[in-house]
Amino acid sequence: MIFVGTLLKVIDNSGAHTARCIKLYKGSANHGALIGDQILVSVRHLVSTKKTIKVKKSGLYRALIVRTSKEVCRKDGMLIKMDSNAIVLINPNGNPIGTRIRGPIFKEIRDLQFLKIASIAQGLI
């Protein structure tokens, strides 16, 4: 579950390394945000080896949550959980800012109609 103030790992190649959650667009402050929810983040650290960086430090961007440490319950009753909280930076239309996504993401992202993000991901779990 993602709350306001949570540090998140950015897994696309937009140039950001970590970001902090500023606002939850979906969900509530008491329950937090889960997989597929959009949040507002502030970029905290940039990748220093990247030549073409598409984001600015301390810039505010929309993001989509693609991995959480909190387990996700599927319709068949299976519980799946990841090691870290991860996001993908998106523009206001819902398309990703980066062109690649490192690591696997949950397949619930594809079911939520974020097909562009699901197609450029390395793997779906």
Report yes or no on 89 lying in a domain.
yes
Q: What is the pLDDT of residue 31?
A: 85
Q: CATH no. for residue 112?
A: 2.40.150.20
CA atoms of 59 and 94, how far apart (whole Å):
18
Q: Is the pTM of this model over 0.85?
A: yes
Report yes or no on 110 lying in a domain.
yes
Q: What is the pLDDT of residue 52?
A: 78
Report yes or no on 43 lying in a domain.
yes
Report yes or no on 63 lying in a domain.
yes
CA atoms of 53 and 77, how far apart (whole Å):
41
Residue 37 contacts residue 26 (beta carbons within 8 Å) = yes
Report yes or no on 2 lying in a domain.
no
State which residues form the domain around 71.
Answer: 7-124
Chunked into runs of 10 residues, the chain (125 residues) has average pLDDT values of 95 95 83 93 89 90 96 93 96 94 94 94 92
CA atoms of 114 and 59, how far apart (whole Å):
23
Look at the chain and report how many structural domains it folds into: 1
Residue 14 contacts residue 54 (beta carbons within 8 Å) = yes
CA atoms of 118 and 82, how far apart (whole Å):
17
Give 102's contacts (C-beta < 8 A, 6+ positions apart): 11, 12, 13, 122
**Could you tell me the two tokens for 74?**
């599927």
Report yes or no on 24 lying in a domain.
yes
Report yes or no on 1 lying in a domain.
no
Q: What is the pLDDT of residue 27?
A: 65
Report yes or no on 105 lying in a domain.
yes
